[in-house]
Amino acid sequence: MFSRWVGEKGLVVAVEADPPNAAALMKTVEVNQLTNTVIIPGSAMASHGVFELRKGKSHLEHSIVNSTDNATSPVTTVRGAPLDSLLAPYLATRRIALLKMNIEGAEIEAIQGMAKTIGKTDCICIACHDFLIPESAPKIRPTIEAFLRDNGFSVVTRSGDSRAHVREHLWGLRLPG
């Protein structure tokens, strides 16, 4: 859908941490001959490194964890890098019309690695997964909302939606001028 939306001159870039999902995306790109779509296997993080992806019972429970986590869920090792590094080859002469981030709890890590990228972004949607973390844990949403406002975005929410996963999406719209 996004490939058709941006057209021949546009570009779709997907960063996917989960190796099976990245492979499926690459196969989709190949089979559909999406010449304007690039898949980057790995995770958008604050720094370069190797991280662990804990795989839950469903995709909603996947998360990047540190090595001291004692979770019993299966773990996959993934490479991570700042979004600025991952997207640098594509942003020299381009702007980002829409950046959609849904990374299961690593949103704060990701925004710490996108100082250049955010300045080239016109619209952003970040899924905050506060509904998945314990009540006592620090919330992600206030940090993301402040980040968006500090970077010149008007923040829009769907706070009245009955679905938690929809309510926790923050939309940042950069107003012209």
**Bigger pLDDT: 147 vs 132:** 147
- DSSP character at residue 172: E
Tell whether the model's pLDDT for residue 2 goes beyond 60: yes
- Mean per-residue pLDDT for 75-96? 89
Q: What's the pLDDT at 171?
A: 93
Q: What is the pLDDT of residues 90-133, one digit of tens each?
A: 888 888 888 888 877 788 889 999 999 999 999 999 988 776 67
d(CA 128, CA 131): 8
Give Cα 96 to chain centroid, integer Å: 13
Domains delineated in the chain: 2-174 (3.40.50.150)
Q: Do 118 and 131 meet the contact criterion of CB atoms below 8 Å apart?
A: no
What is the rounded average pLDDT for all residues in the chain?
A: 85
Least confident of 3-12, 56-65, 106-115: 56-65
What H or E segment, with its residue span, contains residue 37? strand 37-41
**172: pLDDT confidence band, cut at 50, 70 and 90?**
very high
Nearest CA to 126 out of 169, 63, 175 is that of 169
Tell whether the model's pLDDT for residue 167 goes beyond 70: yes
